Amino acid sequence: MKPAFSISFFVIALTTLLFLGASFLAQLTFKHFPSTKKYRAAIWLMVFLFLAVQLTAPALYRTWPSPPISVFAAQWFAYSTLGLFACFFIYHFFPVLIFKTWNRLQKRFFTKKPPVSMQIERRSFFTLSAFSFLSTSVGTYQAISGPGLKRVAIPIADLPAQLSDLKIVQISDLHIGPTIRESYIDRVIDLANTETPDLVVITGDLLDGTTEQIGDLVLRLNRLRARYGIYYITGNHEYYWGVDEWLGFLKANTPFKILLNEHAVIDINGQNLIIGGITDSSAARIKKEHEPNVTQAFEGCPKEGFKILLAHQPRHYDVANSLGVSLQLSGHTHAGQFFPWNLFVSIPFRYYRGLNRHENLWLYVSPGTGYWGPPMRFLIPAEVTSLRLAKATQPQKEL
């Protein structure tokens, strides 16, 4: 079953923002280039085409059960231009904002306003434009090159001896879909398998497409190997692409152990390892029964055991900590995905990247194994994370 495309609030809001952003950039070019009528018309035509591509390419992908190559090409074009636009906008908008604010303050508080020549403004415009092109090119290269392997040791004071050096490979936010395809997925699998992990955990946002469109790509993950199994939870994107159908597909065709507000217990040489998994924080908006619930996830679990929580979004850490969870594994934030968005992602998320300590809980937030939208990873590389439980050698304190 393919979900029907509908013009949602999200699409309208995004289109409005894109239009405002593109208009801002158009005005800037009018300021720095000869502003003839023909030139203005050409720029507005580009703005219109840009918006049309951003709307039609994802709509075509969503409605086409088996998209032809031209639809994939359109998606690549749409996402690449969106990435370039995002860089152009942010590298110009904030300097202009700061410059205008500074000018106003000068006007307000000083009698003489030091003149800023048009030449300096124009030079800044070209410098920032060059930086936008450069960061887009480097960011695209970083994204399409695929993830690297990141090894992280988790120091735990009271780690049971049986769990010492337990290796968990985390794959998060892979976003298999229109631009993340065979070679990218195979690289992820090879990196994970070379670690010979005890566990593999997939912490949501695995896909962007229907089972019909990308089912065969997702099945490539059956090549993943882990001594104690592969554990999977949903992210928000699973709910955009038919969560029931996907869960049925994964249950029938993969060895994934799916945790929907439930836990699994693994006996490792007499030591209980309890893995709880919750549904995505926003799941209930689409499927009411999938309201995430950490308490429910650990209900009925053995009293003694080392607890790990899988939660797509880096939230719920207070409840997890109060339930005696030692380690939470999350993703979702992409750590901003590319500079300078990493500077803003800390606004909605207290913990948004890497290893964090919250009272007695360790929380690792993956920056993502894939990417979403623009193929861009400027200064924030994607990773397959290899986490190793290690006995802490010194007292732990909050980071």
Measured from the CB of residue 235, what is the shortest distance to Fe ion in angstroms? Answer: 4
Burial pattern 74-105, b for ≥16 Cβ within 10 A else e, equals bbeebbbbbbbbbbbbbbbeeebeeeeeeeee
Find the DSSP H helices in 110-181: 118-144
Contact (CB, 8 A) for 191 and 147: yes
Region from 28-36, 49-57, 190-198, 330-338 binding Fe ion, contact rule CB under 5 A: 330-338
Residue 332 touching Fe ion (CB under 5 A): yes
Measured from the CB of residue 205, what is the shortest distance to Fe ion in angstroms? Answer: 4
Burial pattern 253-288, b for ≥16 Cβ within 10 A else e, equals ebebbbbbbbbbebeeeebbbbbbbbbbbebeeeee
Region from 3-11, 183-191, 329-337, 360-368 binding Fe ion, contact rule CB under 5 A: 329-337
User: In the complex with Fe ion, which residue's Cβ is closer, 91 or 239?
Assistant: 239
Measured from the CB of residue 239, what is the shortest distance to Fe ion in angstroms? Answer: 10
Residue 261 touching Fe ion (CB under 5 A): no
Which residues lie below 8 Å from residue 371, measured CB to CB, with a gap of 6+? Answer: 143, 173, 175, 180, 334, 337, 377, 382
Region from 55-63, 138-146, 200-208, 240-248 binding Fe ion, contact rule CB under 5 A: 200-208
Taking CB under 5 A as the criterion, the residue among 135, 179, 236, 386 binding Fe ion is: 236
User: In the complex with Fe ion, which residue's Cβ is closer, 198 or 208?
Assistant: 208
Taking CB under 5 A as the criterion, the residue among 67, 235, 242, 375 binding Fe ion is: 235
Q: Is 333 helix (H, G, I), strand (E, B) or coil?
A: coil
Cα 354 versus chain centre, distance:
13
Measured from the CB of residue 59, what is the shortest distance to Fe ion in angstroms? Answer: 21
Q: How far apart are CA 146 and CA 155, in angstroms?
A: 28
Measured from the CB of residue 121, what is the shortest distance to Fe ion in angstroms? Answer: 40
Measured from the CB of residue 263, what is the shortest distance to Fe ion in angstroms? Answer: 22
Residue 203 touching Fe ion (CB under 5 A): no
Residue 177 touching Fe ion (CB under 5 A): no
Angle formed by the axes of helices 243-253 and 211-218, to 10°?
A: 30
Taking CB under 5 A as the criterion, the residue among 205, 208, 238, 383 binding Fe ion is: 205
Q: How far apart are CA 73 and CA 78, in angstroms?
A: 9
Q: Contact residues for Fe ion (CB under 5 A)?
A: 205, 235-236, 332
